[in-house]
Amino acid sequence: MTDCIFCKIARKKIPAEVITESEDLVVFKDNQPNAPIHYLIVPKKHYESFSDVSDDILIKMKEMMLTLAKEKELKAFRIVANWGDYQAVKHLHIHFTSGFKKEDY
Ligand code: 5GP
Ligand code: ZN
């Protein structure tokens, strides 16, 4: 999608603080974080929402959450995914947050 901000980030057309990436996913910092750790887990391919993503990508997103928790040595994380009118950016993403308490690290 040419006009989509997360497609542009995935293709490195606009900058973002990328944490990690895989063949199918890119993880970058939310630029308006609401937690000390606030990452967005984003498929590189454009899917508008859960309504049109395949199960194999969802499994990869789950695996990415667990990899992030392990690599960042987190004891806790919280995920949020918006859909419909709650979703501002119409490119599927999961908010991955942590660090609300110092014991999280
Ligand atoms: P949602 O679509 O789930 O409501 O939220 C979209 C999220 O994307 C917001 O938390 C917002 O701060 C983040 N966001 C929007 N545009 C950009 C951007 O250009 N770069 C980054 N890093 N985050 C963005
Ligand atoms: Zn997109």
**Nearest-angstrom CA–CA distance, 19 and 87:** 22
Q: Which atom of ligand 1 is nearest to the CA of 81?
A: 3
For residues 21-55, one letter each, b for 16 or more C-beta atoms within 10 angstroms of the residue's C-beta and e for the rest, the string is eeeebbbbebeeeebebbbbbbbbebbeeeeeeee
Whole-number mean pLDDT of the chain?
A: 96
H-helix or E-strand spanning residue 95: strand 94-98
Tell how far the Cα of 93 is from the centroid of ligand 1, in angstroms: 9
pLDDT digits (tens, 9 = 90+) for 71-102: 999 999 999 999 999 999 999 999 999 998 87
Residue 103's pLDDT is what?
Answer: 75
pTM: 0.96
Question: Which amino acid is it at 51?
Answer: S
pLDDT digits (tens, 9 = 90+) for 15-73: 999 999 999 999 999 999 999 999 999 999 999 999 999 999 999 999 999 999 999 99
Contacts of 31 (CB under 8 A, 6+ apart): 16
